[in-house]
Structure 1
Amino acid sequence: MPQPSRQHDGAMNVLGLSFGFHDAAAALVVDGRVVAAGQEERFTRRKHDAGFPAKAVEFCLRQGGVKISEIDRVVFHEDTGLKFDRLARSALSRGRGGIAFLSKACQHWVSDGKFFPKALISERLGLPRRRISSTRHHAAHAASAFFCSPFDRAVVLTIDGIGEEETFTVSIGEGTRLTKIAAVRFPHSLGLFYSAFTSYLGFEVNEGEYKVMGMAGFGEPVCWKELFALFDLSRPLDFRLRQEWFNFYDPEDHMYSGAMVDRFGPARVPETPFALGCAAGSVLSPENRRFADLAASVQRATEEVMLGLVRQAVERTGARRVCLAGGVALNSVANARIQSELGVEIYVHPAAGDSGCAVGAALGAAFAGTDRAHSPRTPLDHAYLGPEFSPAEVRAALEVAGIRRYRTYDDSAALVDTVAERLARHRVIGWMQGREEWGPRALGNRSILASPATAAMQALVNEKIKFREPFRPFAPSILMEHAAECFACPAELSPHAPECFMLAVRAATAAARARMPAVVHADGSSRVHTVRRDSNPLFYDLIAQFHRRTGIPALLNTSFNLRGQPVVGAPADAIETFGYSGIDTLVMGSYLIDKEDLV
Structure 2
Amino acid sequence: MTAILGISAFYHDSAAALIVDGAIVAAAQEERFTRCKYDASFPEHAIAFCLEQAGLSRADLDYVVFYEKPFVKFERLLETYLAVAPAGFRSFAAAMPVWLKDKLFIKRRLRRELADAPKAKLIFTGHHQSHAASAFFPSPFEEAAFLTLDSVGQWATTTWGVGRGKKLQTDHQINFPHSLGLLYSAFTYHCGFKVNSGEYKLMGLAPYGSPIYADTIRKHLIDIRDDGSFWMDMRYFQYCRGLTMTNRRFSDLFQISQRAPESELQQQHFDMAASVQAVIEEIVLAMARHIHRQTGCKNLVLAGGVALNCVANGRLLREGPFERIWVQPAAGDAGGALGGALLAWHQLLNKQRTVQPDQDSQVGSLLGPSYTNAAISQLLDRQAVRYTQIDDDRELTRRVAELLSEGKVVGWFHGRMEFGPRALGARSILADARAPQMQSILNNKVKRRESFRPFAPIVLQELAADWFDIAPPHDSPYMSFVTKVAESKRSPHNEIPAVTHIDGTARPQTVDRVRNPRLHQLLTDFYQQTRCPVLVNTSFNVRGEPIVCTPEDAFRCFAKTEIDVLVLENCIVLKSENSHQEPTIESLKPESLKPESLKPESLKPESLKPESLKPRKRSEIATAPDDKTLRQFGFLLGLILAVAAGFRWHAGSTNLAGAMTAAVVASAAIGAVVPRMLKPLFVGWMIAVFPIRWLVSHMILAIIYFGIITPLGLILRIAGHDPLGRKESKRPSHWITAEPEVAAERYLKQY
Q: Same fold (TM over 0.5)?
A: yes
1:333 aligns with 2:324: no
Question: For residue 365 of structure 1, what is the aligned residue in structure 2?
Answer: 344
Give the deviation of 1:235 after TM superposition.
7.2
Give the deviation of 1:485 after TM superposition.
1.0
1:18 and 1:528 map into 2 onto residues whose CA distance is 29
Q: Residues 365-384 of structure 1: matches in 2 within 5 Å?
A: 365-371=344-350, 374-376=352-354, 379-384=361-366
Give the deviation of 1:215 after TM superposition.
0.5
Give the aligned residue type for 1:36. Answer: A
1:469 aligns with 2:467: no
Identity %: 41
Question: For residue 564 of structure 2, what is the aligned residue in structure 1?
Answer: 584
> Do the aligned partners of 1:118 and 1:133 also contact (CA within 8 Å) in 2?
no
Give the deviation of 1:151 after TM superposition.
0.9
Give the direction of change, closer, same or farther, for the CA distance of 1:388–1:493 in structure 2 (3 Å limit).
farther
1:261 and 1:33 map into 2 onto residues whose CA distance is 50
Question: For residue 158 of structure 1, what is the aligned residue in structure 2?
Answer: 148
1:188 aligns with 2:156: no
Question: For residue 293 of structure 1, what is the aligned residue in structure 2?
Answer: 271
Question: For residue 306 of structure 1, what is the aligned residue in structure 2?
Answer: 284
Q: Can you give the 5+ residue segments of structure 1 that lack an aligned partner in the other structure?
A: 1-10, 275-287
Give the aligned residue type for 2:177. Answer: P
Q: Can you give the 5+ residue segments of structure 2 that lack an aligned partner in the other structure?
A: 580-751
Give the deviation of 1:93 after TM superposition.
2.7
User: Once the two structures are superposed, what CA deviation does each residue of 1:348-376 show, in whole Å capped at 9, x if it has no partner?
Assistant: 0000011000000100001124556x453
Give the deviation of 1:31 after TM superposition.
1.3
Q: Residues 72-87 of structure 1: matches in 2 within 5 Å?
A: 72-87=62-77
Q: Residues 351-500 of structure 1: matches in 2 within 5 Å?
A: 351-371=330-350, 374-376=352-354, 379-400=361-382, 402-490=383-471, 492-493=472-473, 497=475, 499-500=476-477
2:402 and 2:100 map into 1 onto residues whose CA distance is 56
What is the RMSD of the two structures over their aligned residues, measured on CA atoms? 1.6
Question: For residue 296 of structure 2, what is the aligned residue in structure 1?
Answer: 318
2:238 and 2:257 map into 1 onto residues whose CA distance is 16
> Do the aligned partners of 2:65 and 2:344 also contact (CA within 8 Å) in 1?
yes
2:215 and 2:165 map into 1 onto residues whose CA distance is 39
1:234 aligns with 2:225: yes
Question: For residue 674 of structure 2, what is the aligned residue in structure 1?
Answer: none
Helix, strand or coil: the match of 1:244? helix
Match among 14, 29, 34 for residue 44 of structure 1: 34
Match among 174, 182, 200 for residue 210 of structure 1: 200
Give the deviation of 1:320 after TM superposition.
1.6
2:321 and 2:528 map into 1 onto residues whose CA distance is 35
* Count of aligned residue pairs for this structure pair: 568
1:311 and 1:199 map into 2 onto residues whose CA distance is 30
Give the deviation of 1:390 after TM superposition.
1.0
Question: For residue 58 of structure 1, what is the aligned residue in structure 2?
Answer: 48
Give the direction of change, closer, same or farther, for the CA distance of 1:369–1:133 in structure 2 (3 Å limit).
closer
Helix, strand or coil: the match of 1:180? strand
Match among 199, 210, 213 for residue 220 of structure 1: 210
Give the direction of change, closer, same or farther, for the CA distance of 1:198–1:417 in structure 2 (3 Å limit).
same
TM-score (norm 2): 0.74
Helix, strand or coil: the match of 2:18? strand
Helix, strand or coil: the match of 1:214? helix
Helix, strand or coil: the match of 2:263? coil
2:370 and 2:218 map into 1 onto residues whose CA distance is 45
Give the direction of change, closer, same or farther, for the CA distance of 1:130–1:426 in structure 2 (3 Å limit).
closer
1:117 aligns with 2:97: no
Helix, strand or coil: the match of 1:455? coil
Give the deviation of 1:129 after TM superposition.
8.4
2:504 and 2:380 map into 1 onto residues whose CA distance is 41
Query: Whose radius of gyration is greater, 1 or 2?
Result: 2
2:344 and 2:577 map into 1 onto residues whose CA distance is 50
Structure 1 range deviating more: 69-78 or 228-237: 228-237
2:281 and 2:125 map into 1 onto residues whose CA distance is 29
> Do the aligned partners of 2:565 and 2:573 also contact (CA within 8 Å) in 1?
yes
1:561 and 1:342 map into 2 onto residues whose CA distance is 35
Match among 19, 32, 54 for residue 29 of structure 1: 19
1:440 and 1:534 map into 2 onto residues whose CA distance is 21
Give the deviation of 1:65 after TM superposition.
1.5
1:560 and 1:204 map into 2 onto residues whose CA distance is 21
TM-score (norm 1): 0.92
2:295 and 2:86 map into 1 onto residues whose CA distance is 46
Question: For residue 578 of structure 2, what is the aligned residue in structure 1?
Answer: 598
Give the aligned residue type for 1:575. Answer: F
Give the deviation of 1:486 after TM superposition.
1.1
> Do the aligned partners of 1:183 and 1:237 also contact (CA within 8 Å) in 2?
no
Greater helix fraction, Structure 1 or Structure 2: 2
1:78 and 1:129 map into 2 onto residues whose CA distance is 21
Question: For residue 611 of structure 2, what is the aligned residue in structure 1?
Answer: none
1:269 aligns with 2:257: no
> Do the aligned partners of 1:154 and 1:174 also contact (CA within 8 Å) in 2?
yes
